[in-house]
Amino acid sequence: MSDFICAACRSIDFKKILKTPAGDLTVHREKRDPYDRYPDLLLDKDTARFSQLQHNDCSLCTIFASTLCSTEDEWSDPGVVEDASLSAHELKAYSFLRNCAWTPENVQGAEDCYILLATRSSTYNSAGNYAKWAGQGEAGYVACLPKEREAGLFVPQMISERFDSVKARSWLRHCKKSHGASCNEYSEVIPGLEVIDCETLRIVPAEAGMQWVALSYVWGQHQSQDNLGDTEPGVLPSDIPRTVRDTIEVTITLGYRYLWIDRYCINQEDAAKKHDLIAKMDIIYRGADLTIAAAAGHDENAGLPGVGTTTRKKQAIVELDSCTILSTGPDPAFKTEQSRWRSRGWTFQEGLLSRRRLIFTEYQSWFECCEGGWMEALGGPELLNNPDEVRCTSGKIGRSLDGRLLSHHLTSRGLIADPDDRVIATRLDQFAQIVGRYSKRDLTFDEDSLNAFAGVSRHLRDSDPQLSHIFGIPYMVSAPLELGSAEKYMFYFLSWRHSRDSSPRRRPYFPSWTWAGWAGGMGWMTGRLDGVTALEQKMRDIHFEVDGRVVVREAYVDTFDSVSCEIPKSDVILCFEAQVVPPSLFSWDTYEERRDISSDEDSADGEDEDISDEEVQSDDDAPDEEDQGDDDSVNGDSEVMSESPPPDPDDWNTWAVGTNRLWDRAQPPDCDPATFIDNLEKGRWDCLLLGDYNGNAGYSHRRFMLVIEWLENGLAHRIGSVVLNRQHYLDRGNIFFDDTELAWKSVRLV
Ligand SMILES: [Zn+2]
Ligand SMILES: [Zn+2]
């Protein structure tokens, strides 16, 4: 970074803000809006220079403009803000504690400071918490700190060039001392588990009471063959990848001795043992005292930045006469989200199942446990004598990537009256959220589609109420028969769809009727399930067939659940009877002049699956509701209201079945509607009625249909789904098309 500071930046009076404690901003704010929850101090009005950065090499302009970019690219509403280069900008100071996503509200012992943010002058500030959003992206938080200062709790600070093990130890101590069972309940050592003794570099059997660290990292394409053969058995090879070497160092520095790394602790030669361990990843990662995640770089040779020879990227800092302007660097949770580590299938459960994660990014390390998180760029519990002193009356510390997605503590939805129904629906939702996230990950081998998920599967099956799955379609093992019976909800879970931005591809090892049989991000049709009682199944006689034999419901778990089950999964046939929706019911002439708006309860659907994740996690958690609200207002339904385009028969959204328009978030076959109708008429395809959903206290109605293509011998495969969405206020009539007279067909799906 250059030392140059432009005249405009030099004339900013930073002293002005430092005279006012950031915590007093409510009193001294320049705005008079009583509803402004995020008061600010205006520092500079004439800052059009931020948008002409290519002509500007001022170090301050560069820092401030980075905050502007984030608000434009990620958070602004394109309908509100005009062309960025034309608009004037303002530089404003905000209270850090109020705006930082890493600090809980009302935390005691924390010191407030100012963070600076460039926003467009036209931005209606109280409409959104821009300071918070900008900080959660590439920009990070840009703090304005007094020259004379001491490190303080949650105060931004310089990240050291080397990994700060003092901080990491304090994070661990704080979690162990102050957090409850979710962080500190651990699994027993399983027989046959082996770990690396970091002192002797030997592979030793794990023993009861042993504390070990696990590594989660990405194997590169080349997969260097440093197998154990080149040295004596049971000893680490001399030539180990950089990430492994750095992890051994961190393990020792943090006071641990034992380390689990798949490559050395799973005997690749012993297939049976390997299979057994793969099925028990929940125990390995849940049992680890800490998981070190290598989220920088692309493979096992990237190293952990700041530990060995891999250097860290530097945060931006400018020393002025009056103060220090310091960027925390990109939000580490954001960097992790963007990392290759986070994109891979196998690392999904490694991260999700771990109780504590120490994640290394290019800039710094950060810590995430079940209750909260810390990063090196902020003052943390290492500054306190007693970790219990980090007290807050509400809210959690830090950001969380997976949060309580796997929590035993199920959230629930008030709309569902029956408590049993609520528990089951929440459990099924949880499964849907987890699978939705998992499906976005990449796998090198198609046959791993469920293997890389086996640890999560086992964890869910062993939690109460027990949830299993039939090659990816959830199945409640323990639930009242009335609600838990698979027939109640199976049609709903057969009605999955791929995300619009995914390019689905068949995975040959699995049937077409399950998401596991396809590569590509997917999700189910509602953000949340309003109870199993909201579902009305229209299929009948659902069962599975393997090798010509019917699998009875009692045998589902034994037959399908275990990853050690060796039946060729592609041979499992899903059999059922369903009514055929005739092509004559499809029409294109019902186009009405109206906007195709989505009903409110769907705002978390579709491409915004992460938002519904938040909902599921934070339902009963008052402080998080704020985040949820923020996220909603930013990311929510991004469909921009615009003039309706002229009707187009090639557009699936202009088609209807009966009087109801097709729902645009379903996934009809990959062809134009005319081809679809033609195939239905010629009997090559069929559209089958699966069931109805009547959720949101009767305000949301959907009808699910499955499109299949007939193969030989009465077999068929899935090629898409059609969903009708009845909008309570817009659609007349209370029912979907009359299905009483429709003909039944027997289907065997592969
Ligand atoms: Zn400047
Ligand atoms: Zn914890």
How confident is the model over 370-388, as pLDDT tens digits?
888 899 999 999 998 876 6
> Which has more pLDDT, 418 or 731?
418
CB-proximal residues (5 Å) to ion ligand 1: 6, 9, 58, 60-61
Give distance in angstroms: CA of 75 to centre of ligand 1.
24
Contact (CB, 8 A) for 326 and 67: no
Claim to verify: residue 374 and residue 485 sit in the same structural domain:
no
Claim to verify: residue 681 and residue 739 sit in the same structural domain:
yes
Question: What is the mean pLDDT of the segment spanning 644-671?
Answer: 85
Exposure class string for 636-663: b at 16+ Cβ within 10 A, else e: ebeeeeeeeeeeeeebbbbbbbbebbbb
- pLDDT band at residue 57 using 50, 70 and 90 as cut-offs: confident
Q: Does residue 206 have a pLDDT over 90? A: yes
- The ligand whose atoms approach the alpha carbon of 7 most closely is 1
DSSP 57-90: --HHHHHHHHHHHHIIIII--TTT---GGGS-EE
Claim to verify: residue 19 and residue 120 sit in the same structural domain:
yes
Give distance in angstroms: CA of 460 to centre of ligand 2.
21
- pLDDT band at residue 123 using 50, 70 and 90 as cut-offs: low
Number of domains observed in the structure of the chain = 4
pLDDT for position 393: 57
pLDDT for position 654: 86
pLDDT for position 432: 94
Claim to verify: residue 723 and residue 612 sit in the same structural domain:
yes
Q: Does residue 321 form part of some domain? A: no
Percent of the chain with pLDDT over 90: 45
- The ligand whose atoms approach the alpha carbon of 48 most closely is 1
Q: How far apart are CA 503 and CA 236, in angstroms?
A: 41
Claim to verify: residue 136 and residue 235 sit in the same structural domain:
no
Q: Does residue 596 form part of some domain? A: yes
- pLDDT band at residue 685 using 50, 70 and 90 as cut-offs: very high
pLDDT for position 121: 66
Give distance in angstroms: CA of 664 to centre of ligand 2.
41
Give distance in angstroms: CA of 9 to centre of ligand 1.
4
Q: Does residue 396 form part of some domain? A: no
- The ligand whose atoms approach the alpha carbon of 2 most closely is 1
Looking at 98-102, 588-592, 620-624, 708-712, which range is the least confident one?
A: 620-624
Looking at 203-212, 506-515, 548-557, 711-720, which range is the least confident one?
A: 548-557
- The ligand whose atoms approach the alpha carbon of 176 most closely is 2
> Which has more pLDDT, 617 or 520?
520
Within a 10 A sphere around the Cβ of 231, how many other Cβ atoms?
A: 14
Claim to verify: residue 65 and residue 12 sit in the same structural domain:
yes
Claim to verify: residue 111 and residue 172 sit in the same structural domain:
no
Claim to verify: residue 121 and residue 180 sit in the same structural domain:
no
pLDDT (tens digit per residue) in 687-724: 999 999 988 777 888 999 999 999 988 899 999 999 99
- pLDDT band at residue 592 using 50, 70 and 90 as cut-offs: low
Q: Does residue 403 form part of some domain? A: no
pLDDT for position 675: 96
Give distance in angstroms: CA of 435 to centre of ligand 2.
24
Phi then psi for residue 371, to 5 deg, are -110, -10
Claim to verify: residue 169 and residue 128 sit in the same structural domain:
no
pLDDT for position 569: 65
Q: Does residue 86 form part of some domain? A: yes
Q: Does residue 71 have a pLDDT over 50? A: no
CA distances from 229 to 219, 223, 235 (A): 19, 15, 10
Domain's final residue, options 389, 407, 437: 389
Q: Does residue 411 form part of some domain? A: no
Q: Does residue 159 form part of some domain? A: no
CA contacts within 13 A on the Cβ side of 342: 17
Give distance in angstroms: CA of 371 to centre of ligand 2.
5
pLDDT (tens digit per residue) in 215-261: 999 988 755 555 545 567 789 998 999 999 999 999 999 999 999 99
pLDDT (tens digit per residue) in 288-302: 999 999 999 999 999
pLDDT (tens digit per residue) in 266-283: 888 888 888 888 888 999
- The ligand whose atoms approach the alpha carbon of 182 most closely is 2
Range of the domain at 526: 419-535+548-566
Claim to verify: residue 290 and residue 229 sit in the same structural domain:
yes
> Which has more pLDDT, 234 or 582?
582
Domain's final residue, options 338, 369, 389: 389
Q: How far apart are CA 37 and CA 149, in angstroms?
A: 28
Claim to verify: residue 358 and residue 211 sit in the same structural domain:
yes
- The ligand whose atoms approach the alpha carbon of 8 most closely is 1
Give distance in angstroms: CA of 400 to centre of ligand 2.
11
pTM reported for the whole predicted model: 0.87
Claim to verify: residue 369 and residue 454 sit in the same structural domain:
no
The top-scoring range by mean pLDDT among 93-97, 357-361, 489-493, 610-614 is 357-361
Helix ranges (DSSP H) in 193-344 = 242-253, 262-265, 271-278, 281-287, 332-338
pLDDT for position 608: 37
Q: Does residue 727 form part of some domain? A: yes
pLDDT (tens digit per residue) in 131-179: 777 788 888 999 999 998 889 999 999 999 999 999 999 999 999 988 8
Give distance in angstroms: CA of 356 to centre of ligand 2.
7
Contact (CB, 8 A) for 605 and 665: yes
Within a 10 A sphere around the Cβ of 1, how many other Cβ atoms?
A: 11
Nearest Cα residue to 450 out of 607, 564, 288, 609 = 564
Q: How far apart are CA 448 and CA 83, in angstroms?
A: 46
- The ligand whose atoms approach the alpha carbon of 370 most closely is 2
Q: Does residue 116 have a pLDDT over 70? A: yes
